[in-house]
Amino acid sequence: MDPIKRTAPFLLILCLVATLFAFDGDVVERLLALLRYDESSPLTLTTGFFLVAFLIFGIGYVVLRGKARLRTLYVVLFSLYFYYKLSGVYILLLLFVAVSDFLIGRGVSRRVEEGRSAKALVALSVVINVAILVYFKATNFFVGVINDLYGTGTLNWESVVVPAGVSFFVFQSIAYVVDISRGVIRPLTRFSDYLFMLSFFPKMFLGPLVKAREFIPQIEAERVVVSREDFGRAVSLIAGGVVKYAIIAKSIGVLFVAPAFAGEMGDGGVVALMAIYGFTLQIYCDFSGYSDIAQGVALMMGFRLPDNFDAPYHSATITEFWRRWHISLSTWLKDYLYISLGGNRKGAFRTYLNLIITMFLGGLWHGVGLTFMAWGLLHGVALTLHKVWLKVIPGAKTLGSDMKPVWRVVATVFTFHLVAFGWLLFTAKDMTVVGAMLHNIAYNFSWADVVPMVEKSGVVFVLMAIGYLLHMLPRRADEALRRGVVRSGFVGQWLLMVVAIWMVVQCNMLLAAEAGAAAGLPIYAAF
């Protein structure tokens, strides 16, 4: 039997149970509350409310999945509801970008077909979208600089809040218009299809960035098909993502990393070093875990999103790292920025300069500030030096798999610490914190501090050990686990989901008891 059809009765039962528990008072008021945006409780794929909402949505989706037009409209409406519950009034920004680039894309296509230049329209799309990013990401920085230079209060500007997911849907919208101008794709004729591509709820918050040429055929398919293997893989992705994001990343961040960077754990070098190691694992589990959940939810609906991570800390070179970390972003930067700047077509110097500019702008994509600029420059210079290394050193390799075992271990350890230092720049609120952390490691490091720190935060270090161990397992181990989930059958898969949800609930209760509150949105929600 089709896995989606087999799921429908369970969805209905769970919805009825959820309804009985949810509406024990004023039904109308509770329904209205579900429809209103609540700034204190934004909707994400990892909230309890999303589980209930997705179960209700799933019933309608099962009914409509064989009717392409109705399915598209249904998913679009739920996606818009999802984004409204996540960002409130900023749903208007999403709609503006969608309308703007849908119309510009049609205009670009007409000019290309007529043999006319479409550069002006492409430039218009880029200017509109970049202006949106600059306003939301750079305003606070420049206001702060002016007030620092000319005195506090020179500019009385209310702090600008970055809308959730703005970087992701803006970048995808730019790519859509550029691909039309390059003749890679034809423009969508229905606005609903374009809005589907831009707002599809599993990916629109934190990606991955999806290429239009890969996603459009899935939208246009007459019928969605989810095989038994697809359903099992979706369950394994969701369960694994939940463990990484909601248990490992949250616990490490709330119980150790955040207090350590705030100076609440002392100023010893051991604490500083372990905080860097902790954040290095936290940001990976946080982002890749959420990406896994997004992939799993999409696959459960019959849509395939690209892999966004491939065990990045296995990397033996910085070039390999960027082939494994946030793959969709690095690919976007290469295809739409690096190549547009000239890529490697204009000599060695221009190649290196283009690489540094690309990574510098990639740093600014995350946020306008000295720390993000330094982070982008670090990776740009590191990538450039590695290219030079490959040219001048005979036998130098790009990938660890091509190296001899001893050199691979040495190179992997070096690359890991280079990346970890980059994460220090990435997460520190300013360069003063960076300097203080490095000073403590260099001058206040004492092995005697290890035992008291472990006694105080033993659970955290157990989770860190588990997280790094799981990450360093070979790919065949990960695939074996996923095959096991597929073979476990429908009942086993549902039991796995129940256990994962139970673990999340217990973890949240522990964090609330230990730290006073659970962690908020994912780290990348700020970007």
Please tell me the distance from the alpha carbon of residue 369 to that of residue 431, in angstroms, as a whole number: 10
Active site (annotated) includes residue 366: yes
- Residue 57's nearest CA partner among 260, 200, 161, 175 is 200
Rounded Cα distance between 257 and 275, Å, is 5
Geometric angle at alpha carbon 132, from 128 and 136, rounded to 5°: 170
CA-closest candidate to residue 30, choices 2, 49, 44, 11: 49
Which one is catalytic: 314, 326, 366, 379? 366
Conformation bin of residue 164: beta by default, left when phi > 0, alpha when psi is -120 to 50: beta
Secondary structure of the chain: what % helix, strand, coil (to 5)? 75, 0, 25
In whole angstroms, give the CA distance from residue 418 to residue 50: 38
CA 20/CA 16 separation, integer angstroms: 6
Residues 19-56 as b or e (16 or more Cβ within 10 Å = b): eeebeeeeeeeeeeeeeebeeeebbbbbeebbebbbbb
Q: Could you give phi then psi for residue 265, rounded to 5 degrees?
A: -105, 10
E strand or H helix at 468, and its extent? Answer: helix 458-472
DSSP per residue over 16-39, as a string? HHHHHHH-SS-HHHHHHHHHS--T
Rounded Cα distance, 340 and 459, in Å: 48
Please report, for residues 225, 377, 525, the alpha-carbon distance to residue 78 in angstroms, rounded to integers and kept in the order given: 20, 40, 20
- Match 């550069």 to its residue by tokens: 119
Catalytic residues: 366
